[in-house]
Chain A
């Protein structure tokens, strides 16, 4: 990498860089050698950074008008919507921004799953990513409580009550979380504080995520190790910057569609009714991005086991680099894994749908089958597949299959034999 050799041109630049090597860092980031075959699925890292910054900026401006008090929170949100200049716009960007953030993170995660980006030597990047994802869920959940509508209140009640499943100390923990005997003002004020804190923790983890990424460099669609810099790489600037910028623009069109044309379509009408501890809404549903896990929670008829199943569904991802025993990263060269990958995608979508439906009859049954398959995928299929699967030979470099060579021929032959 070039950062060691970098010498600023100006005298002041050199003087400054000797004392704080910020210019070396900037040079490292612009020259950073990137695989030249990165496709558009790789643009979601940049999109996610945009999402985080958007949430922080709109969040700070909303906090200038919001009042974190059980008697005033609901009204202050309506005040933002009706009275504050452009308050409606800032709030709709923030509320839909959360959904866009999760949309992007799910694409980012499933890109990793397809191209095996979590495998050695990128386990730490992956685990930091899972930590960011967990913090995102915590931030989103607490943020949803702040408007103090019916869904806010009852969502908070249901989720905090998950801790009451813990034997012996559960009740004490829940009262500690609430600061009382039910979700009330002390709960609201602490959720507001933590909701403000978490994005900055995420920002710190994002720095570590990118730092860890820059040690081995990007994975790529064919999942091979590449020499850097070489014929297989291009500098981050301008090649990746312009590609990321284009993808970001496309993403912002989708984002703007929700903000301007369907700002409430992802929310629940019940949250425009002020919180009432005496009445539970007929049908409590979390936000769409938590539905698959909600379906797993409900598919287990036992309270404690349901909570354990839901948490394991998330934490199992952290063990993924060791559960997947295949040395081949990219699904392009793993014909069987590719099929199981798409079954998993379908399974998670089915879980999401079942999470939105009432927990009864056929919905519950399908939810249970889908839950069982989810764990089967990670605990049985992936470990076994690494030993059983006949993979397609991987090319030696990114340029090799294009410029021709023996490996390319072998690849074609192998494909033929697999087709038979």
Chain B
């Protein structure tokens, strides 16, 4: 008897702690998860954009999920410049062919991958974009070339519904 009693008690303690931890976790999770993007935010997942009025060399900016998306109609020079870059020169190597389905149209999130500012058009050392916050330079394909940003500007999911309309998301 005297040998067994402590073991039973230890088992009970351990079981109580375990149930307690699970219980606290089960109550804590809703409190944490309520801060995640809610159903109404997730519902605004796609936007359709009319691009018929964009002439070569111009960029329009549209809002998608609260973030700006750059839609640039690139000139032949810009396409040539983007495609002639060697992969070794890139911090985040990506081919321009993989970033722009239709070489004339570059569709990407206008969000600097450093700390989320909106880079400026036609600025910087690589004829693309320049982020005024901490000095990141992007090329005509939106790839990071110089500065603190670690990645190229992201390409969202998009498709051409017809020649004049792009659906983002």
Q: Which of A162, A182, A190, A284 has the most B CB atoms < 10 Å from its CB?
A: A182
| Chain A residue contacts of B167, Cβ below 8 A | none
Q: Contact: B66 with A175, CB < 8 Å?
A: no
- A280-B132, A282-B132, A303-B148 as given contacts; A181 in contact with B114, CB under 8 Å: no
- A280-B118, A303-B148, A303-B149 as given contacts; A181 in contact with B66, CB under 8 Å: yes
Q: Give Cα A306–Cα B134 distance, bound, in whole angstroms.
A: 12
Q: Contact: A157 with B41, CB < 8 Å?
A: no
A153-186 to B contact mask, C-beta < 8 Å, 1/0: 0100111111010000000000111111111101
| Chain A residue contacts of B36, Cβ below 8 A | 175-176, 179
- Which residue of B has the minimal Cβ distance to A282? B132
Q: Contact: A284 with B41, CB < 8 Å?
A: no
Q: Give Cα A157–Cα B134 distance, bound, in whole angstroms.
A: 13
Q: Contact: B117 with A280, CB < 8 Å?
A: yes
A266 to chain B, nearest CB (A): 21
Given A301-B148, A303-B114, A358-B135; 11 other pairs, CB 8 A cutoff: A154-B117, A175-B37, A176-B32, A176-B36, A177-B35, A178-B37, A278-B118, A279-B118, A282-B132, A284-B117, A303-B148
A13 to chain B, nearest CB (A): 44
Q: Contact: A179 with B68, CB < 8 Å?
A: no
| Chain A residue contacts of B66, Cβ below 8 A | 180-184, 277
- A277-B68, A302-B148 as given contacts; A157 in contact with B37, CB under 8 Å: no
B12-50 to A contact mask, C-beta < 8 Å, 1/0: 000000000000000000001001111001000000000
A283 within 8 A of B: yes
Q: Which residues of A contact B (CB under 8 A)?
A: 154, 157-162, 164, 175-184, 186, 190, 277-284, 298, 300-304, 306, 358-360
| Chain B residue contacts of A279, Cβ below 8 A | 118
| Interface SS of chain B | loop
Q: Contact: A161 with B116, CB < 8 Å?
A: yes
A180 to chain B, nearest CB (A): 4
Q: Contact: A181 with B65, CB < 8 Å?
A: yes
Complex interface residues of chain B between 57 and 106 (CB less than 8 A to chain A): 61, 63, 65-68
| Chain B residue contacts of A154, Cβ below 8 A | 117, 133
Between A and B, 7 residue pairs with Cβ closer than 8 Å are A178-B37, A277-B63, A280-B117, A280-B132, A283-B132, A301-B148, A303-B150
Top 9 closest A-B pairs, CB basis?
Answer: A182-B66, A181-B65, A161-B116, A161-B115, A280-B117, A280-B118, A158-B115, A180-B41, A157-B116
- A176-B35, A176-B36, A301-B148 as given contacts; A278 in contact with B117, CB under 8 Å: no
| Chain B residue contacts of A360, Cβ below 8 A | 135
Complex interface residues of chain B between 103 and 148 (CB less than 8 A to chain A): 114-119, 131-135, 147-148
- Which residue of B has the minimal Cβ distance to A177? B35
| Chain B residue contacts of A277, Cβ below 8 A | 63, 66-68, 118
B164 to chain A, nearest CB (A): 22
| Chain A residue contacts of B118, Cβ below 8 A | 277-280
Q: Contact: A179 with B35, CB < 8 Å?
A: yes
| Chain A residue contacts of B132, Cβ below 8 A | 280-284
Q: Give Cα A62–Cα B79 distance, bound, in whole angstroms.
A: 54
| Set A159, A180, A278: member contacting B63, Cβ < 8 A | A278
- Which residue of B has the minimal Cβ distance to A172? B36
Q: Give Cα A161–Cα B38 distance, bound, in whole angstroms.
A: 20
Q: Contact: A158 with B133, CB < 8 Å?
A: yes
| Chain A residue contacts of B63, Cβ below 8 A | 277-278
| Set B61, B117, B135, B150: member contacting A359, Cβ < 8 A | B135
Q: Give Cα A157–Cα B111 distance, bound, in whole angstroms.
A: 10
Q: Give Cα A161–Cα B149 distance, bound, in whole angstroms.
A: 12
| Set B67, B119, B147, B148: member contacting A181, Cβ < 8 A | B67
| Chain B residue contacts of A283, Cβ below 8 A | 132
| Set B41, B67, B148: member contacting A306, Cβ < 8 A | B148
Q: Give Cα A98–Cα B61 distance, bound, in whole angstroms.
A: 37
Q: Give Cα A49–Cα B63 distance, bound, in whole angstroms.
A: 45
Q: Give Cα A407–Cα B109 distance, bound, in whole angstroms.
A: 72
| Chain B residue contacts of A282, Cβ below 8 A | 132
| Chain A residue contacts of B135, Cβ below 8 A | 358-360
| Chain A residue contacts of B131, Cβ below 8 A | 280
| Chain A residue contacts of B149, Cβ below 8 A | 303
| Set B38, B65, B117: member contacting A157, Cβ < 8 A | B117
| Chain B residue contacts of A183, Cβ below 8 A | 66
- Which residue of B has the minimal Cβ distance to A70? B66
Q: Give Cα A364–Cα B76 distance, bound, in whole angstroms.
A: 36
Q: Give Cα A118–Cα B135 distance, bound, in whole angstroms.
A: 39
- Which residue of A has the minimal Cβ distance to B146? A301
Q: Contact: B117 with A186, CB < 8 Å?
A: no
| Chain B residue contacts of A177, Cβ below 8 A | 35
- Which residue of B has the minimal Cβ distance to A364? B135
B129 to chain A, nearest CB (A): 11
Q: Contact: B67 with A284, CB < 8 Å?
A: no
A285 to chain B, nearest CB (A): 10
B114 to chain A, nearest CB (A): 6
| Chain A residue contacts of B65, Cβ below 8 A | 180-182
Q: Contact: A278 with B38, CB < 8 Å?
A: no
Q: Contact: A190 with B35, CB < 8 Å?
A: yes
Q: Contact: B115 with A157, CB < 8 Å?
A: yes
Q: Give Cα A27–Cα B152 distance, bound, in whole angstroms.
A: 65
| Chain A residue contacts of B61, Cβ below 8 A | 278
| Chain B residue contacts of A184, Cβ below 8 A | 41, 66
